[in-house]
A and B are shown apart, each in its own frame.
Chain A
């Protein structure tokens, strides 16, 4: 540590850092991006492996054979669903009871803050039906959950039917050590959320739900099943949950192992695995898969029913059947066997899944990038902010040092005063609070005065407040201390840089993808900002535009490119979904952006108008 304790050497070091600041920052930024893109390159990633002993060595034999019966059950279920015009609660209760389960129902209702136009719902009223298969000689302390959503229209009939067929088969087996809960939830995520809140007797999101009667102890793991056709070509595994939480990697390994065993094609992000990693196509494919995962994780919503379980420390994943035009088909019996195998292995667990990774990215199902590998990419970006802050600190400190040395200079220019910095900070954050609160609360007023629907009103109000934030009086320092000084904006920039570094650092710890995406767009502009910069560049790299770019990139990656106007419509719906996710399930991305990231960006915006 002699390097830092020796003042002369320290001076050399700081001199070096300030002199080479810009080149170092540029190198760091490029290195960060290259590092991130390198994560998808197969030789740099690790092969997945089963860490949990209880699931690894004990092989199970799958004997489920009533796939055909499940399909005829699906037709019956469909007929009853049509007749009931929604969830056929009575039929489901009877069906589960006749299969020897303890059956309970839970009714719930929820008024959305504004109508959800994607799913066409506003006042949601529904019933969850669940049956508990009691394990013999088990004291009701542990349970596994299998859920299938009862969706409107033709979808997911096969999932519910397969669930019932599995229940019947499981009931006749004696090896269960954990109770198994078969849940059919109405209104997909809303039903799941109501059920989970009822089961754990919590109320986070203002649901009105009936109390739950039947319970089975602490839930160890959950699988959600989505299946809409009689035969499928591949099974897709969905892992991304609420706020970017992921289940333990062993759950993905388990799924992969059984797909391999039963010869079922398995995909992640809808992308098959390729073996040609050394070709350009192979690498692009892996990079696309990983980018899709990053984008999905960053948006912080639950991409399947499983996502809401993660909050309760329940490892969960969704398995989605996909029927494309491929020749190779898998029938319901095989899917049943796959689920049987997975549930049996989960049943063998002695402890909760905890052995493997909780923080990872998957470029393919058999390869993973652990937190130790992807964090440096973010670190390289975040260090730029700190380097710039150090540079500013040294520059700000230099004249003060000179003053101490000898000449007693007038100190007015060197101390811009707390107020000049505090005022923009307060104004920015007030704008953020307005952006967070007003869209939902002002919708009635907006609907009265403008010819728009409630949803449009909310989204357009949000955009209006966002834009209005740009036009706020950002030169308050002139009123306070006359002409804006160079010293003044540097202090503001220093504060804002450190603030952003802390914000991004905390975000990346919880949700790496979100932190990284924000860092990629925010870091270059914030690091290089001076009052002389063009406002347009600043706007183009603002948080809202980041979302817009993400929409386009996402559409490009899922091979459904959109035109500019379609993209704009998608952008609007993404905003409304974000606000809804926050209100319905407690997703934190919207408040994070509105209350912290946007105000922080406004502080930088302030610098543009300093002179």
Chain B
């Protein structure tokens, strides 16, 4: 009895330490668009990675994901589905970046022996959970980056044998991916911030990105106990230009065709932040809130109006009319294919450092499919029209039909400069069964990833506090003077030499005809029995013979 009650107490205690927070940040962007970023954080106070411990009790954490984590010994899992491209030049940096299409990267626990096998099964399971074509991830598009993707949670695993990274740039994200994502929330889309997520509005936007991040974290500052953190994020950019008919006015109802009424009953905190840093005097929020918060995010101190969801809100903002001027984000990258013709080409990656006086290093990671055969001897890195020698290069050549190219480089970007990385490639001629059903559309090359510690204008907070807003606490900050940024370039669409696929059809028709005609005549020759035909004697001879027979003389031959 004592044991039972103590166990019950233990469970209750443990359960009490599970936690759910929800948060919505609304930021009017420089270009006049509205950026809405949802973050939901579920903490799960358990440590099933320890030997022999099996967990079967779930309270807030979704069971489907928990089982996946324990079955495949996942240490950290990051998955994102994005439709559209984040326009850094107009929108600045997002809170959590993601490349167009689907991206999945997983750190496995170092007790896993068959990482590739686990990875394959995991992608198939996730494909089912998220209703996405993640099952198309195989060895031909999986890489193991050596430096670009470090674990974000606890533990300093650096052995990249346990890391797998893959992107599917062609993945199209739609309602069927959103629904399973919403189901992972403790309140579903019934209550709390998630009621705003009406897919018809969410997909009527300029940018849509949803993600799931799972990692182990410390429960408190001393890190006496560990917990699993599940962060679900959803980022949307609404285009006021197309929907507002010129008016720069927005409200929650206009954006989501829903209003907020109450918080999720299971949530320990439920907040809405409205970024009013730019031109606060031009904003007009209704209802006004006395609560102002400050947060340092991405090297910038920003001021927010905070709404706690105790009171019902329907916020309305009049924002200034912005001109379409470009922003100058400190770090920015873009990529394109140069050249013409279907034989060769050149991939250009351009990285901009817009910091006026600080140089900083960036890690560039490129994963290129095998059918673009990279000529790595043509790799050049130039900054300010001078050769810029990367201090670290990790290159893994592709194997045809088995493995993509992986190129990682540590490049020092001079202040206020443009660095261009070029590499030439040859387009492979695929086997005719390897072409997609729409070969003339082209083949996708995933985004390259630029990761950097960018010098910060303001001091970053390194101490760990609970009351920090979620959007500013995703990436652990190690030092005050810089912050971590990851920038994804656009994916590439490359045309490969494509045969005329109506020709095989003609060939099939022709061979069928030849076979039919040939077979017919051969069959005819083989099965017919031949016999020598006596030519019938001419009429005169027959008449003569008739007369001879009547006369009884020997016949003519």
Contacts and interface: CB of A to CB of B under 8 A. Distances in A.
Interface string B314-340: 000000000111100000001011111
Contacts of B241: 100, 171-172
B309 to A, nearest CB: 29
Contact of A350 (B83, B205, B342, B438): B438
A134 B87 contact: yes
B306 to A, nearest CB: 30
Nearest to A312: B340
A142 B339 contact: no
A172 B242 contact: yes
A138 B84 CA distance: 4
A352 B334 CA distance: 24
Contacts of B493: 141-142, 217-218
B262 interface: no
Interface stretch (B19-27, B439-447, B475-483, B525-533): B439-447
Contacts of A121: none
A138 B85 contact: yes
B206 interface: yes
Contacts of B492: 141, 217
Interface in A182-230: 200-202, 215, 217-218
Q: How large is the interface on B (under 10, 10 to 19, 20 to 34, 35 or more residues)?
A: 35 or more
B338 A351 contact: no
Of the listed residues A100, A101, A217, A354, the one surrounded by the most CB atoms of chain B closer than 10 A to its CB is A217
A397 interface: no
Interface string B526-542: 00000000000000000
A98 interface: yes
Contacts of A351: 438-441
A171 to B, nearest CB: 6
Give the secondary structure class of A's interface.
loop
A140 B338 contact: no
A508 B205 CA distance: 51
B206 A137 contact: yes
A311 B340 contact: yes
B323 A200 contact: no
A215 B349 CA distance: 12
Interface string B70-106: 0000000000000111010110000000001100000
Nearest to A140: B490
A137 B336 contact: no
Contacts of B204: 174
Contact of B495 (A100, A171, A218): A218
A202 B337 CA distance: 11
Contacts, number: 97
Q: How large is the interface on A (under 10, 10 to 19, 20 to 34, 35 or more residues)?
A: 20 to 34
B339 A200 contact: yes
A62 interface: no
Contact of B444 (A101, A103, A141, A354): A141
A481 interface: no
A116 interface: no
Interface string A465-504: 0000000000000000000000000000000000000000
A139 B438 CA distance: 18
A513 to B, nearest CB: 23
A202 B169 contact: no
A136 interface: yes
Contacts of A101: 324
A274 interface: no
A313 B490 contact: no
B442 A139 contact: no
Interface in A87-137: 97-98, 100-103, 134, 136-137
Contacts of B334: 215
Of the listed residues A139, A173, A218, the one surrounded by the most CB atoms of chain B closer than 10 A to its CB is A139
Nearest to B445: A141
Nearest to A134: B87
Contacts of A97: 323-325
Interface in A287-341: 311-313
Contacts of B208: 137
B417 to A, nearest CB: 14
B491 interface: yes
A471 B498 CA distance: 50
B203 A137 contact: yes
Contacts of B498: 354
Given A138-B85, A313-B495, A217 B438 contact: no
Of the listed residues B101, B245, B323, B442, the one surrounded by the most CB atoms of chain A closer than 10 A to its CB is B442
Given A136-B205, A201-B338, A201-B346, A103 B242 contact: no
B438 A313 contact: no
Contacts of B83: 137
B149 interface: no
Nearest to A141: B493
A354 B496 CA distance: 14
Contacts of A141: 442, 444, 490-493
A500 to B, nearest CB: 29
Contact of A137 (B207, B346, B495): B207
Nearest to A201: B338
A100 B85 contact: no
A139 B324 contact: no
Contacts of B89: 102
Contacts of A100: 241, 324
B120 interface: no
A558 B486 CA distance: 61
A392 B84 CA distance: 68
B80 to A, nearest CB: 13
A217 B169 CA distance: 14
A138 B490 CA distance: 10
Contact of A98 (B324, B339, B442): B324
Nearest to A196: B340
Interface in B190-222: 203-208
Interface string A167-183: 00001111000000000
B160 interface: no
Contacts of A171: 241-242
A201 B325 CA distance: 25
Contacts of B338: 200-202
A456 B493 CA distance: 47
A139 B101 contact: yes
A540 B323 CA distance: 66
B336 A215 contact: yes
Nearest to A171: B241
Interface string B491-504: 11111001000000
A22 B409 CA distance: 72
A69 to B, nearest CB: 15
A526 to B, nearest CB: 34
Contacts of B426: none
B47 interface: no
Nearest to A96: B324
Contacts of A103: 324
16 contacts: A97-B324, A98-B324, A102-B324, A136-B205, A137-B205, A137-B207, A139-B100, A141-B442, A141-B493, A200-B339, A200-B340, A201-B338, A215-B334, A215-B336, A218-B493, A312-B340
Interface of B: 83-85, 87, 89-90, 100-101, 169, 203-208, 239, 241-242, 245, 323-326, 334, 336-342, 346, 348, 438-442, 444, 490-495, 498
Given A102-B326, A134-B85, A139-B169, 6 more contacts: A97-B324, A101-B324, A136-B206, A218-B493, A352-B440, A352-B441
The 7 A-B pairs of least Cβ separation, nearest first, read A139-B100, A201-B338, A351-B440, A137-B84, A141-B493, A97-B324, A140-B490
